[in-house]
Structure 1
Amino acid sequence: MAATESVRAGGRGLRADALRNRQRLVAAARQIFEEQGLDAPLDEVAERAGVGAGTLYRRFPTRAELVEAAFEDELRRVTAIAEEALRCEDPWTGFSTYVERLCGAMAADRGLSDLFTVRLPNSQVASALCDRQSAALAKLVRRAQEAGALRADFVPEDVFLFLLANAGVAQVTRCAAPHAWRRLVAFLLASCGPDHTEPLPAAPTPLQTERALLGNAETKGLGSCPGEGAGPNRA
């Protein structure tokens, strides 16, 4: 599934042949990341797109730029999920539906699952969309707590923990038990009820969560160091 908006935005001013190459690369990257995750070898992207590795690196000097181009449309859709949930009349339904839809998207797409657990460095588009989603999530949590539907000590960073847990379950069970993520999410949401008042260990702070997201991005080759695209499997 190609990211059509990013292709249009990123392709301005390119020659027709260069634009076609960019479109092929974005489409191929989207497919391979969906199948293998964000750390998939980039030489496979070039091969599936039918272009040379040099063309890929000219168009996308870093892996993060390629990921952004491949997933921009999906990032917008994910942001819309949170904003749609805010329009739900019942606060608990809005919150729980948001969690279920995010986890379902992760189970269906390995690349998107990876993307939910990283922070793309130096990406203005991803950063702006992340800010919008974070603001919507904070409102979802607050609304559900004010309605007495969500335990009082729940914080937005707990959703990050949910997504990490779901990413692991979805990856391991994807072929053998593709429905397993649903059971995990049901358990997680059940633990969020207001009747659960037992003390919890400390939640990660926003700064710790941000550091974790950036650190995970580094492990997947999404760091912002200059020249990281020199190798065949890093860009």
Structure 2
Amino acid sequence: MSTSEVERARAPWRRDAQKRHDRLIEAARREFAARGVDASLERIAREAGVAIGTLYRHFPTRLDLLVAAFEPRLQEFLEGAEKAMEMDDPWEGFVYYMENLFRAQAGDRGFNDFLSRRFPSSPETERIHDQVCHQIEAVLTRAQEAGKARPDIAMADIVNLIWSNGRMIDATSVTAPNAWRRHLYLMLDAYRAERAHPIPEAPMTDEQLYDAMVQLNKVD
């Protein structure tokens, strides 16, 4: 059999494999969005119409599947962050970034979990989290340097908001799906420079924050 004949013979298998790959990603998006990052992989495989062994052949770890499933939402979110940095008013850029962040949380329970936790066993998720943290620092520092945001806000304060917003979304997603916006804007008022008062407790250090995000992680 010639090389071209071998390639033609393999083509249907490759198309079938790609279809299984795509079905797994679609099923994972639905399940992670509905049930969070700890959703059953067996259920995802069943929803995709494949055996669990097939899932693991395509995605050796849960985190591999998470990254593939979240890629479009992550890209959309990161592009929104870039727009925030381009806004003329640093405070409006900060507000835009935070609303974009919380809206992404509200629309997907799995993405909410992903933002709230750290997965140190995965270099790719660590890279993504570091990128998000650098963006937060950039929009926040810009607003602080312009005198619009209080100077004592730290990364841990933003992550605290992410955590509290996550709990609010869990409680209100059915009865009042936009309640998170009121909470966000109340908190943003507290972040304004002109509202600043001394705070009796220092923010968590970067090391404490990282450890706390790892402790929330249940993914193997």
TM category, shorter: 0.7 to 0.9
- Rounded to whole Å, the distance in 2 between the matches of 1:35 and 1:209 is 27
Q: CA deviation at 1:83?
A: 2.0
- For residue 162 of structure 1, what is the aligned residue in structure 2? 161
Counterparts of 1:86-165 in structure 2, within 5 Å, are 86-165=85-164
Structure 1 gap ranges (5+): 1-13, 224-235
- For residue 211 of structure 2, what is the aligned residue in structure 1? 211
The 8 Å contact of residues 38 and 114 in structure 1, kept in 2 or not, is answered as yes
User: Higher helix share goes to which structure?
Assistant: 2
Matching residue's letter, 2:178? H
- For residue 179 of structure 1, what is the aligned residue in structure 2? 178
Q: CA deviation at 1:76?
A: 2.4
Q: Is the radius of gyration larger for structure 1 or structure 2?
A: 2
Number of matched pairs: 207
Q: Give the TM-score normalised by the residue count of structure 1.
A: 0.82
- For residue 61 of structure 2, what is the aligned residue in structure 1? 62
The 8 Å contact of residues 76 and 129 in structure 1, kept in 2 or not, is answered as no
Query: What secondary structure is seen at the aligned counterpart in 1 of 2:195?
Result: coil
- For residue 188 of structure 1, what is the aligned residue in structure 2? 187
Which runs of at least 4 in structure 1 moved beyond 6 Å after TM superposition?
none
- For residue 9 of structure 1, what is the aligned residue in structure 2? none
- For residue 46 of structure 2, what is the aligned residue in structure 1? 47
What percentage of residue pairs aligned between the two structures are identical?
A: 37
- Rounded to whole Å, the distance in 2 between the matches of 1:150 and 1:139 is 13
The 8 Å contact of residues 189 and 195 in structure 2, kept in 1 or not, is answered as no
Matching residue's letter, 1:135? H
1:84–1:144 CA distance, 2 compared to 1 (3 A): same
- Rounded to whole Å, the distance in 2 between the matches of 1:78 and 1:156 is 18
> Deviation string for 1:160-212 (max 9, x for gaps)?
11110100000111101112111110111011011233222211111122112
The 8 Å contact of residues 25 and 65 in structure 2, kept in 1 or not, is answered as yes
- For residue 202 of structure 2, what is the aligned residue in structure 1? 202
Matching residue's letter, 1:157? A
Q: CA deviation at 1:113?
A: 1.0
Q: Give the TM-score normalised by the residue count of structure 2.
A: 0.87
Structure 2 gap ranges (5+): 1-12
